[in-house]
Amino acid sequence: MTSDPFFHPVSGFELPRFAGVPTFMRLPHVAPDHPRFDDVQIGLIGVPWDSGTTNRAGPRHGPRQLRDASTMIRAQHQASGLRPFEMANCADLGDVGPNPADIADSMQRITAFYDQVCAAGIRPLTAGGDHLISLPVLRALAKDGPLGMVHFDSHTDLFHSYFNGQMYTHGTPFRRAVEEGLLDPKRVIQIGIRGSMYDAEDRDFAKAEGIRIVEIEEFFERGVADVMAEARDIVGNQPTYVSYDIDFVDPTFAPGTGTPEVGGPNSYQALQVCRELYGVNIVGADMVEVSPPFDQLGNTAFLGVSIMFELLCAMLADSIGAK
């Protein structure tokens, strides 16, 4: 795999990082009506929408702050040596325009955007948005059958409903995704789960469907390498989605999020888990729940884009799924 120089990011040697229009990782902006859209292989997409949030809102502002922070990302992965922007044509595809007053309409808009992305053979790397955005993305990605999923989060997001019958919130996306046949529950692993609980409804659903939950106690007892070896076993070599909620990370390192839970992984472990995904057949990935109003200095967003860079490298760490 090699990339077209048109898709190379602007280097900090050429133009200082504080200058220029801040696209994701300083890549070219290639919207779906751009003549080079069909040449994109990995598309970075913003979904500035948080109408699924049940408590402290703010992730609608995530993509803008993440784009700004992502100007810090350089060309080469420090540990693996990968140079992702030279391995595939990567571009910032822009934002999905949501309808903040209508959940159903917003989800349709998101799926319609990702339908275009999939039709062009582009693998999406998404910046949310709250965690409900993963559902309309999966509706576009899982057209050929249910996907596996590696899910980093302090919450399962497997609840049936909120507020007497609201089925679509950031606490329910993966319950819906299993019900809709978008995910194969036996190829789903959720890692980092912790915090006080409403009840065991989500755990009971996981058990009944065969979803593997690695609670934080087990994560720390076994360590990153052992848990992630199991994750690779569970998803196998079939198409797999990676969903990364920033609240997986301890709020000391990621305070800018709506539902923080203490006692989590540090920022280094947050990167390590992605490096253990090399070789997985990743058809798409997301970074969600970065909420700028709760961290206006942007440290959470910088961690978020550092994780996105790790995910990008993991998506390119084998040739499976490449054009």
Binding residues vs Mn ion (CB under 5 A): 131, 153, 155, 157, 245, 247
Got the DSSP string for 262-300? SS---HHHHHHHHHTTTTS-EEEEEEE---GGG-TT-HH
Residue nearer to Mn ion on the CB measure, 40 or 249:
249
* CA dist 249 → 9, 108, 113, 245 (Å): 28, 30, 29, 8
Q: How far is the CB of 261 from Mn ion (least distance, A)?
A: 7
Q: How far is the CB of 70 from Mn ion (least distance, A)?
A: 21
Q: Which amino acid is at 145?
A: G
Residue nearer to Mn ion on the CB measure, 1 or 197:
197
Residue 302: closest CA among 11, 12, 25: 25
Residue nearer to Mn ion on the CB measure, 92 or 130:
130
Helix axes 62-70, 299-315, angle to 10 degrees: 70
Q: How far is the CB of 138 from Mn ion (least distance, A)?
A: 14
Q: How far is the CB of 14 from Mn ion (least distance, A)?
A: 38
Residue nearer to Mn ion on the CB measure, 123 or 155:
155
C-alpha span between 100 and 32 (Å, rounded): 22
CB atoms within 10 A of CB 154: 28
Q: How far is the CB of 195 from Mn ion (least distance, A)?
A: 9
Residue 269: closest CA among 219, 217, 321, 198: 219
Measured in whole angstroms, the distance separating CA 173 from the mean position of its chain's CA atoms is: 13
Q: How far is the CB of 248 from Mn ion (least distance, A)?
A: 7
Residue nearer to Mn ion on the CB measure, 88 or 311:
311
Residue nearer to Mn ion on the CB measure, 65 or 259:
259
Token pair 């040449």: residue: 39
